[in-house]
Structure 1
Amino acid sequence: MSCELLKNYCSNLIHESRVFYFARDGMAMSLYTILADLDLEQVRKLLNKQVVDAEGQRCTPLIIAAHHGHDKVVKVLLKFPVDLEQEGLVKLNSFTVKGASALWCAAGSGHLNVVKTLVKAGADVNHATHTMSTPLRAACFEGRLDIVQYLYDHGADIHKANIFNNSCLMLAAYKGHLDVVSYLLEKGADPMQHAKCEGTVLHYAAENGNVEVIKELLNHGAVMTKNNYGLTPVLVAAERTRAAAVEYFVTRPELSLEEKIDALELLGASFACDKDNYDLTKASHYLERSMDMRYSDPDNIIRKPKFTPIPAYQNWIESQTPEDVRALRLNGNSLYNEALTVRERILGSNNPEVPAAVVYRGAIFADHANFHRCIDLWLHALHLSQSNRVCVSKDLLRFAQIFSQMIYLDEYLKFSHVEEVLAAAVLEFERNKERIEINKQLGEDTTSLQERVESNVITALYILVILTKVMKLCDETEGYRVRQLIFRLNKLRVTSRQGQTLLHLCLDSETPVDNFHTNDVCKFPCLATAKLLIQCGADVNAMDSSRNTPLHVIVCVQKPINDYLTVHSIIKELTEAGAHIDTVNKDGKTPFEAATRGVAEIILSMQRQLSLKCMAAKVVKQNNIPYQGLVPKALESFIELHGTVSRRKKKKYMRLVARHRKLYRSNLHECLQL
């Protein structure tokens, strides 16, 4: 790069930075001064270029100015050639919003003056984000009636829903903004529109619990229907412990006596299980009140429906009489079992809200060192979630933490429990992989799924380490079953974003270890886990994104003197399992050349016995001898292990392949079969 080009490049970077930060900080005069001195093409490039700030937002100067409510800056920018509809990535109320326009940001951040300025300049009032959220929806979220009115008056579509068919009215009701709800209803918003989950506006209002919003909706023709999980609005309110809303609903003539009983029963059960609104007094009150309603007519007692007892709840059978339910006040454990059973009966096992309360109750047991009750509850919650195909990443980590705590405290840990969690982890990986493939076929983003997989890979590794600690407790059949699971896991070839397999991570001293009890048990490199993975089919020659094999990883361990026996044993295990000591990484280094400490070099030198096949492959790679299409596919991948080719050499190599295909076929094939 010439000095002049370098100077121009640096100048552009300075201008870009200044323009963006002047816009962000509301420095209108400074911004105008710098833009006025540039030619039109430079200005166009600067104003329409996205900049990534310290918060990870990706915005143009106009978007960031609108986001921060700098009306004067926006007016300055509009004097120049700026794209009103350009989209960015912004963060608002802890949400990351992709595809947000300047108008959307102004509306969502509550800046009416900026909204007016942009609309007058011709901004599209219905420009939606990637999830089909409009500026009007953003204003409804914030409860800004003034912005809602202005946007509606200038053509905003109040009927436009997001990708979940969730309307602006639903959002306003969910947030409890009565004035916005009333305005939207007045303008013709449909109170009976259904979201994809079949929830209506009334369901969302019930979830918030604002009684005045509920009344307003009912006065405008809203009707109580069931959503996909079979829940009416009153049951939604009860599950969320919205007592005032439930009390109002049970006065309505639309509800039958049985529906009112279920609502009050669920409300009481939820008060006993809700971590944010935990209240045993209210729990007892509503459970007793609902039972009294069952017995309100001695000639027509409303019995509870039969429900199969659940082992995780100690096979609890629900109270059947007023005396039974009042006796619960004397025994906290009985009250909790009653509450969990009631919730699962009324909500249904397929309801995604059921596991949260079960997990919370289990956590209480864990805090009191009652680990086995905790595990019973958490396993039940895990199976409920997986049966409904809900992500269980957090559940798996939770198990790794409590298992580690138990081992550290020398508490008895059942092998079958660890096996059960490992099986759940394998199933989760299979579903993750399936979902990623579907998303790729549909052209959808897989970033969040890949992040989930990486999190699960690390957690699965913790579980494998824990498994090695309890293997001595298993019999031959259990050992066979768990090895089958690990074989399935290895076959899935799950990796981190850097392409590291479980074996790579197991040998890497830099592998992250969760610090909530897990770090008391899981330390890397781990010989026992490495042996288990290798015995169950882990690829000892797998390469990460830097072409490092597990052997490259272990020879780079930072403290080999402290772990001499571990490093020595792992290298021996790898080489005996077929690890090639002459494979090269992205830097062209073999494990011996990549070793960062003398101890690892000494250990590795004891294993340096190259086969003739390896030597031949190395010669092929070092001399760029054509082989692709000339040897069997299996040999192609074998040769690939033994060296890298630069882009320039690759082009030359491809020409040689075409020229010498017949010449090398027989000799090369013969040599590599030795």
Structure 2
Amino acid sequence: MATSKSPLHRRRPRLQSPMAHLRQEVLEAELAHSARLIHEAAKIDAVREIESELRRPIIKEHLQKILNHPYDNCPPLVLACRHNSAKVVAYLLTLISSGLDIEQTGSVSFSKEDIDGAAALWTAAACGHYDIAKCLIKAGADITHRTSSGSTPLRAACYDGHLNVVKVLRSHGSDVNMPNKYGHTPLMIACYKQREKIVSYLIRCGADVNLQSKLRGNTALHDAAEAGSIPIVEALLRAGAQWKSGSGDMSPMLSAAAVGQAKMVSYFRRHKQMSFTRAQEAEALELLGAAYVDKNRNVSAAIDCWIEAILLRGDSSVPPPPPSSPPPNPVYLNMQDIRCRDSLIASVAADPEMLEMLALVIRERVLGISHPDTAYYVRHRGAMYADRGDFQRCMQLWAYSLDIQIRGFESGHDNIFLTAGSCGEVLNHMLVHDSYARGTYVREIAEMTRVELDRCVDARLPEKAFRIGRIFLHLAGVWMQFIRDGRQAASPDDRRRLYDLGCAVVASCPANDAEETLLHLAVQPSTTKLLEYCECAYPFPCPDVVAFLLSCGAVVNAVDACRRTPLHAALRHSRRSAENGGADRVRRVIDVLVDAGAVTEARDVCGRTALAYAVDGGNEEVVAALRRRRRLRLQDISAAAVVDSGLDYYDELPLKLAQFVDLF
């Protein structure tokens, strides 16, 4: 499944003249400085400082660019709305005719969460800045403009309960049923956040109480039940809310049970007019018991729920849980569903740990592997074992959590990356602190990352594919460190399996947005950041990983968007590597790359060689190591001469030879 895109596919761009390049750099620096000043002034409503800055001649020449400059990922109008700088907003809106884009978007932060694609009106609505919102609407802001997740200004106002903003948006025609990209409507989020007044208002405005989301098929009734708000549930029922099941046959009662909303479960059970069977009622009690174990650690309440469910299932009209769904699972210590009260009591008395496993068994049976809570609580239980120092058991659960996420979630799901990255961190911790760590877990997680990589490639998600490929680099580092330390007897089969995995990953993994390959990452110290919570046993640049990637088919002279090869990348960051005690690793990386055929005289888009970056790094040992391995071949001199001549060599040379000339 190799990608057709070659890492040496581009024709070399013509370089700017030195003076033109310098003038452009000076201008960009001046505009960036001005953007920073305006950015800071917008935060504190300092409108005079902004007026003064925009009157400068050089800024007036580039007024449209500076008005919409996304300094720190946020243009000034959006930033002013975030910080309630009403005077700045009013002033900036007078500059629409001068090129201000009122729909310019940026990234804004709420409760440590970054919202991408937020326009000014969305930001004002989310913050509840009523006067600014009115001012923006009057100036022509689009009330339907959505963020990257498809959220409208109306939905933003509903989230934090800004009823006055909701009303002004509605008075100007906002659609009360317009969902985000997951199909979640303003009414649903108002129910989930327990905004009773907004729920009542939206219902009066004609909000459809029976719409279902795309993601899980839930309705507003599901969200209200999960939030535990009986008054909102009653309001929805009065408005004609129907008892619908979402994906996985998830009813509102099960939604409440899954998060431990015992009062809501009792409310639904008392109202027999609800459309659920006694078997579904028993499942709700079983799921509520699991929530008591994992969320509240209330063992007695959990046992009471499960006993009541057993009694319900004792009725001949209520079928028992499927005997083989799921089958005995070693990850759950082969725990199976309990079908009678005495067995439940005896099992818990014999081993309290089995109670925790029973909660996981029930959740997987009732919710299925596609529900995020199933994998989440498997991970949660694994973390509890890690806290006790039992990393073997933690890895067993986390590996299973990753497996069911890959089987149950769509490709590229963020939780898959979270779990895979966490597994890498724990494996590294085991490598450093646990002499009994086993490489079998590394192979198991690596094989699953390869599966996820293939899924991302098939789904045409190159950014996600590269992200999972980056995690694979760390797993390869752990495995080779196991072998290097002598803790693992690396059999020929072990080596073959890892090599086969590496070949598949190298062949499938696309470049990132900067057109860097995995080999570029393996030579950079920043790649170590995956392991931010534990001591790294194999910091990058990692010569072993570099050699492994090359043996698996990585292109040693692949170039990124700036036409830098992996050798460029290694030397460009050599100062930082040396500061972290990595000068020896950089020297070893140089040897590995040059032995594999790295062109030492290759020039990047700025015309710089790897040696120039090594000199900038200031480490004499690294510079000396590169000088020793430097090779100036006749073909290198010829290629450089072709480039310097300015010939359009793509029309004269075979493709492969032209790509080689590109390096110079």
> TM range, normalised to the smaller chain?
0.7 to 0.9
1:244 aligns with 2:263: yes
Counterpart of 1:91 in 2: which secondary structure?
A: strand
The answer to which of 203-212 and 493-502 deviates more is: 493-502
Matched residue, 1:547: 563
Structure 2 Cα separation of the partners of residues 170 and 624 of structure 1:
62
- Segments of structure 2 that go 5 or more residues without pairing to the other structure are 1-18, 20-26
How far apart are 1:229 and its partner, in Å? 2.8
Q: CA deviation at 1:107?
A: 2.8
1:58 matched to 2:75: yes
Residue 656 of structure 1 aligns with which residue? none
From 139, 144, 155, the equivalent of 2:162 is 144
Say which SS state the counterpart of residue 248 (structure 1) adopts.
Answer: helix
Q: Post-superposition shift, 1:321? A: 0.4
Shift of 1:370: 1.5
SS at match of 1:163: coil
> Equivalent residue for 1:338?
358
Instruction: Quickly say closer, same or farther: Cα 1:193–1:34, change in 2 above 3 A.
Output: same
Identity percentage over the alignment? 27
Q: How does 1:264-275 map to 2 (within 5 A)?
A: 264-274=285-295
Which of the numbers 313, 316, 319 marks the counterpart of 2:335?
A: 316
Q: Is the 1:415–1:473 Cα contact (8 Å) retained in structure 2?
A: no
**Selected match of 2:241 from 222, 235, 252:** 222
Shift of 1:142: 2.0
Structure-2 change in CA distance of 1:43 and 1:246 (3 Å): farther
Question: Does the Cα contact within 8 Å between 2:278 and 2:318 map onto a contact in 1?
Answer: no
Deviations 1:114-169 (A, max 9, x none): 44555566665555555553333222222233333344344433233333332221
Cα offset, 1:216, TM superposition:
1.4
CA distance in 1, matches of 2:437, 2:535: 17
- Asked if residue 523 in structure 1 is aligned to residue 542 in structure 2, the reply is no
Q: Which of residues 457, 469, 475 is equivalent to 1:463? A: 475
AA aligned opposite 2:653: V
1:504 aligns with 2:500: no
Contact 1:513/1:522, CA 8 A, preserved across alignment: no
Q: CA deviation at 1:235?
A: 1.0
**TM-score with structure 1 length normalisation?**
0.80
User: Structure 1 stretch 168-177 or stretch 332-341: which is displaced more?
Assistant: 168-177
- The SS at the match of 1:365 is helix
Q: Which residue of 2 aligns with 1:655?
A: none
User: Counterpart in 2 of 1:640?
Assistant: 662
Tell me: CA distance 1:499–1:134, structure 2 relative to 1, closer, same or farther (3 Å).
closer
SS in 1 for 2:378: helix
- Map 1:77-476 onto structure 2 (within 5 A): 85-89=102-106, 91=108, 93-94=110-111, 95-97=113-115, 100-118=118-136, 125-126=143-144, 128-129=146-147, 131-197=149-215, 198-253=217-272, 254=274, 255-274=276-295, 277-295=296-314, 297=315, 302-306=319-323, 307=325, 308-330=327-349, 331-387=351-407, 388-389=409-410, 390-391=413-414, 392-436=416-460, 450=463, 452=464, 455-471=467-483, 472-476=488-492
Deviation at 1:521?
0.7
Q: Over residues 167-214 of structure 1, what are the superposed CA-to-partner deviations in whole Å (9 max), with x where a residue is unaligned?
A: 221121111111221222223221111222322111121221211111
Q: 1:44 to 1:173 in 2, by over 3 A?
A: farther
Aligned 8 A contact 1:89 1:98 in 2 = yes
Distance in 2 between the 1:67 and 1:497 partners? 29
Is the 2:212–2:218 Cα contact (8 Å) retained in structure 1?
Answer: yes
Equivalent residue, structure 2, for 1:667: none
How far did residue 49 of structure 1 move? 2.2
Residues 415/542 of structure 1: CA separation in 2 closer, same or farther (3 Å cut): same
| Matched residue, 2:4 | none
State the distance in 2 between where 1:281 and 1:57 align: 51
Query: Which residue matches 1:657?
Result: none
Partner of 1:627: 649
Mapped to 1, the partners of 2:76 and 2:582 lie a distance apart of 49
For residue 445 of structure 2, give the secondary structure of its aligned residue in structure 1.
Answer: helix
Deviations 1:508-556 (A, max 9, x none): 4554344556534112343333332222222222234443433445567
CA spacing shift, 1:550–1:218, aligned 2, 3 Å: same
SS in 1 for 2:423: helix
Structure 1 residues 174 and 48: CA distance shift in structure 2, 3 A: farther
Which is further off, 417-426 or 566-575?
Answer: 566-575
Segment drifting more, 465-474 vs 67-76: 67-76
Separation in 2, partners of 1:602, 1:81: 58
Q: Deviations over 1:46-104 (max 9, x none)?
A: 799235466x42232xx555544455666666777677953432525345445555444
Greater shift in the superposed pair: 120-129 or 557-566: 557-566
Return the letter of the residue paired with 1:503.
Answer: L
Deviates more, 1:228-237 or 1:485-494: 485-494
Aligned mates of 2:141, 2:29 — CA distance in 1: 33
Partners of 2:509 and 2:441 lie apart in 1 by 24
Say whether residues 1:617 and 2:617 are aligned partners. no
Cα distance between partner residues in 2 of 1:129 and 1:425: 30
Question: Contact 2:35 / 2:66 at 8 angstroms: preserved in 1?
Answer: no
CA, structure 1 residues 43+287, in 2 after alignment: closer, same or farther (shift >3 Å)?
farther
Is 2:602 the partner of 1:583?
Answer: yes
Secondary structure of the residue aligned to 1:221 is: coil
Query: Relative to structure 1, is the Cα distance of residues 459 and 160 closer, same or farther in structure 2, using a 3 angstrom cutoff?
Result: closer
Deviates more, 1:533-542 or 1:488-497: 488-497
CA distance in 2, matches of 1:203, 1:338: 25
- Summarize the alignment of residues 481-500 of structure 1 with structure 2, pairs less than 5 Å apart: 481-495=497-511, 497-500=513-516
> Quick check: 2:210–2:220 contact (8 Å CA) kept in 1?
yes
State the one-letter code of the partner of 1:411: S
Residue type at the aligned position of 1:257: R
Q: Of the two structures, which has the highest relative contact order with CA contacts closer than 8 Å and spacing of 6 or more?
A: 2
Quote the offset at 1:592 in angstroms. 4.8
Change (3 A) 1:168 1:521: same
In structure 2, relative to structure 1, the CA distance for the partners of 1:630 and 1:18 (3 Å cut) is: closer
Alignment of 1:568-607 (within 5 A): 570-592=589-611, 594-596=613-615, 597-607=619-629
How many angstroms apart in 1 are the aligned matches of 2:283 and 2:125?
Answer: 41
1:582 and 1:44 map into 2 onto residues whose CA distance is: 39
Which structure has the greater CA radius of gyration? 1
User: Contact 1:241 / 1:270 at 8 angstroms: preserved in 2?
Assistant: yes
Counterpart of 2:106 in 1: which secondary structure? Answer: strand
Q: 1:23 to 1:618 in 2, by over 3 A?
A: closer
Deviation at 1:386, TM superposition (A): 0.9
Superposition TM-score, scaled by structure 2 size: 0.81
Distance of 1:140 and 1:74 partners within structure 2: 23
**Post-superposition CA distance 1:344-368 (Å, at most 9, x none):** 0000122232100000101111121
Unpaired runs of 5+ in structure 1? 2-7, 438-448, 644-674
Task: Give the residue type in structure 1 aligned to 2:447.
Answer: A
Q: Flag the 1:35–1:80 CA change in 2: closer, same or farther, 3 A.
A: farther
- How many residue pairs match? The answer is 617
**1:394 Cα deviation after fit:** 1.5
How much has 1:466 moved relative to structure 2? 0.7
State whether residues 24 and 64 of structure 1, in contact with CA within 8 Å, keep that contact through their aligned partners in structure 2.
yes
Whole-angstrom CA distance in 1 between matches of 2:608 and 2:39: 44
CA RMSD across the alignment: 4.0
